[in-house]
């Protein structure tokens, strides 16, 4: 295949923007199609590329956490998203939180200024001809979804995802809240405590509150019964699972003693900074599908939020994804049986079954390297499973199709460590989780360096 061909990318989200940047930085011409701002999805608010729609947090950033291992790999690979995130970072303890508008603006500016990328503000209504990457995201248009169905022979699957409300800081009653990070690691979070009586009343009202109608996007498999991603359950769904579910989930008070009393509250709602100015705060873990008036009524039962101004209400949207282990090959190309349908067509981002912002970035980067190798007539890279990127790609291509669901990066999808390395001497005691994570991180770094040398990346 000629190396002077232009690659078409459908979708300017996290995966598409990263893929475009990676290709252009390797001398490949790119036409990047993005429908916004002329047409927006139910979740988007701006016309910027790589918009963060559900949360401003990109997850844990400790180098020994699974998410941190993935971020370190992306930084080593000169990820545009990671570069922009560093510039837009805001305090959030051990998490990488960013001012979403600044981060997306930086990505948009970098892509727009790249001489190798032509940004076209237009919706892609069909699968492009020629070398192409479909990174249209989980809120893809019906035309793209139908095109994928025609290629792989089956419809996309779907689950419902939700975003949390954002409140104005000056409307939070600070006299009934306190700043602290869990276990005293930082003071970047505002904590809104509840006693037992307040919590139980809140849980009852939340579980029975009126919910908004769920509208499918026309891209699912026809099953209209809501299927939620377990890692991002609506807060009201958690509330109806049991009286204490929230106290062991997003409202857990462990490690958050109130400095004014020294005692741990019965339950806590955490607020995380959402913008660089520190004027807006996100309700951590409070993604919801309640009707908007109900959100104000119920969430104002939290004492510190009694007079809160909700500058953004929580929303829910349907996310589509393909059954990757059945319809994608290990290079992320659509296939039927054992053969790729088109050697020059790749899928990237959440539609492939990776879940999370950084996971989508990793998918876009990996596919860009595959496309670059294909156009240059080189073997496409075989990612080592010991890396976070490799473990994600292996999971989505080899998981059990009947039970396949989107997956975040986690230690469970990495290959097991050498048994001898997980023991201490004398006595052969098992290592702590932190020590085990360190071994995973060291192994990932070593495998990545060999990979980069092997493929001259």
Residue-wise pLDDT tens digits, 184-215: 888 899 999 999 999 999 999 999 999 986 54
Q: What is the pLDDT of residues 330-373, one digit of tens each?
A: 999 999 888 888 999 999 999 999 989 999 999 999 999 999 99
Q: Identify the weakest region by mean pLDDT among 135-144, 175-184, 259-268, 351-360.
A: 135-144
pLDDT band per the 50, 70, 90 thresholds, residue 47: confident
Bond prior to 68 in cis (omega within 30° of 0):
no
Average pLDDT, the chain: 89
CATH superfamily of 6-156+322-413: FAD/NAD(P)-binding domain (3.50.50.60)
Task: Kindly give the residue spans of alpha helices, DSSP state H, lying in 268-339.
Answer: 292-299, 324-327
Question: pLDDT confidence of 2, banded at 50, 70, 90?
Answer: very low
Chain centroid to CA 341 = 28
What is residue 231's predicted lDDT score, i.e. its pLDDT?
66
Residues 6+ apart with CB under 8 A from 236: 206, 207, 209, 211, 288, 289, 290
Average pLDDT of span 225-236: 74
Average pLDDT over residues 271-279: 91
Which CATH code fits 162-317? 2.40.30
Of 179, 40, 60, give the one whose Cα is nearest residue 121.
40
Whether pLDDT at 246 is above 80: yes
On the question of pLDDT at 426 being above 60, the answer is no
Question: CB under 8 Å, gap of 24 or more: what pairs does 390-394 form?
Answer: 390/447, 390/451, 391/415, 392/70, 392/354, 392/359, 392/362, 392/363, 393/330, 393/332, 393/363, 393/366, 394/330
* Predicted pLDDT at 228: 66
Note the pLDDT of residue 425. 45
User: In this prediction, what percent of the chain has a pLDDT beyond 70?
Assistant: 91
Mean pLDDT value of segment 376-381: 96
Using 50, 70 and 90 to split pLDDT, how confident is the model at 225? low
pLDDT band at 419 (very low <50, low <70, confident <90, very high): low
Buried b (16+ CB within 10 A) or exposed e, 40-66: ebebbebbbbbbbbbbbbbbbbbebbb
Query: CA-to-CA distance for 281 and 92, rounded, in angstroms?
Result: 11
Tokens of 50: 């790589």
Highest mean pLDDT (candidates 292-296, 409-413, 431-435): 292-296
pLDDT at 185: 86
At residue 23, φ and ψ (nearest 5 deg) are: -65, -45
pLDDT at position 149 is 85
The mean-pLDDT minimum among 275-279, 368-372, 450-454 falls in 275-279
Does the pLDDT value for residue 434 go beyond 90? no
Q: Which two tokens stand for residue 81?
A: 């998203």
Smallest CA-to-CA distance from 240 within 290, 189, 169, 301 is with 290
113 pLDDT band, cuts 50/70/90, is very high
* Residues 270 and 191 sit within 8 Å (Cβ to Cβ): yes
> What does pTM read for this prediction?
0.80
Q: Residues 197, 200, 203, 207: is their CA dihedral positive or negative? A: negative
User: Among 25-29, 36-40, 110-114, 351-355, which is the least confidently predicted range?
Assistant: 36-40
List phi, psi (to 5°) of 328. -120, 145
Q: What pLDDT is attached to residue 218?
A: 37
Higher pLDDT among residues 137 and 68, named by residue: 68
**Average pLDDT rounded to a whole number, residues 26-41:** 88
Where are the chain's structural domains? 6-156+322-413, 162-317
Question: Would you say residue 424 has pLDDT above 70?
Answer: no
Structure confidence at residue 296 as a pLDDT band (50, 70, 90):
very high
Give dist(CA 175, CA 139) in Å, integer. 41
More confident residue, 223 or 370: 370
pLDDT at 43: 65
Q: Is the pLDDT of residue 221 over 70?
A: no
Does the pLDDT value for residue 404 go beyond 90?
Answer: no
């Amino acid at each position: 295949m000629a190396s002077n061909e232009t690659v078409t990318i459908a979708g300017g989200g996290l995966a598409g923007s990263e893929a475009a940047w990676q290709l252009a930085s390797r001398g490949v011409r790119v036409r990047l199609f993005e429908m916004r701002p002329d047409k927006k999805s139910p979740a988007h608010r701006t016309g910027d590329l790589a918009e963060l729609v559900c949360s401003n947090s990109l997850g844990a950033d400790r180098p020994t956490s699974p998410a941190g291992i993935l971020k370190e790999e992306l930084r080593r690979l000169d990820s545009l998203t990671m570069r922009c995130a560093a510039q837009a970072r805001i305090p959030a303890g051990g998490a990488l939180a960013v001012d979403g508008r600044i981060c997306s603006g930086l990505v948009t500016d970098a892509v727009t200024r790249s001489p190798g990328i032509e940004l076209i503000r237009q919706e892609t209504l069909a699968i492009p001809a020629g070398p192409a990457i479909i990174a249209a995201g989980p809120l893809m248009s019906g035309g793209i979804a139908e095109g994928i169905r025609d290629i792989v022979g089956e419809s996309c699957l779907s689950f419902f995802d939700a975003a949390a409300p954002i409140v104005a800081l000056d409307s939070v009653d600070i006299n009934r809240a306190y700043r602290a990070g869990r276990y005293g690691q930082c003071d970047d979070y505002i904590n809104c405590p509840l006693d037992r009586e307040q919590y139980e009343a809140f849980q009852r009202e939340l579980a029975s509150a009126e919910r908004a109608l769920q509208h499918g996007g026309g891209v699912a498999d026809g099953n209209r019964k809501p299927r939620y991603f377990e890692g991002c359950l609506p807060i009201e769904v958690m509330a109806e699972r049991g009286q204490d579910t929230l106290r062991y989930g997003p409202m857990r008070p462990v490690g958050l003693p109130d400095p004014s009393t020294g005692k741990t509250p019965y339950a806590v709602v955490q607020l995380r900074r959402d913008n660089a100015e520190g004027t807006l705060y996100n309700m951590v873990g409070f993604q919801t599908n309640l009707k908007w008036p109900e959100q104000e009524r119920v969430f104002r039962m939290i004492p510190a939020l009694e007079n809160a101004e909700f500058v953004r209400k929580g929303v829910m949207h349907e996310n589509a994804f393909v059954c990757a282990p059945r319809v994608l090959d290990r290079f992320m190309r659509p296939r039927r049986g054992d053969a790729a349908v088109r050697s020059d067509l790749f899928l990237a981002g959440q539609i492939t079954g990776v879940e999370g912002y950084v996971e989508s970035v990793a998918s876009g980067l990996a596919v860009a390297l595959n496309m670059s190798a294909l156009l240059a007539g080189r073997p496409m890279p075989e990612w080592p499973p010991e890396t976070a990127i490799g473990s994600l790609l292996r999971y989505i291509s080899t998981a059990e199709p009947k039970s396949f669901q989107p997956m975040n990066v986690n230690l469970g999808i990495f290959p097991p460590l050498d048994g001898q390395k997980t023991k201490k001497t004398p006595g052969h005691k098992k290592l702590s989780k932190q020590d085990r994570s360190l071994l995973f991180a060291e192994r990932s770094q070593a495998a990545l360096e060999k990979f980069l040398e092997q493929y001259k990346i």
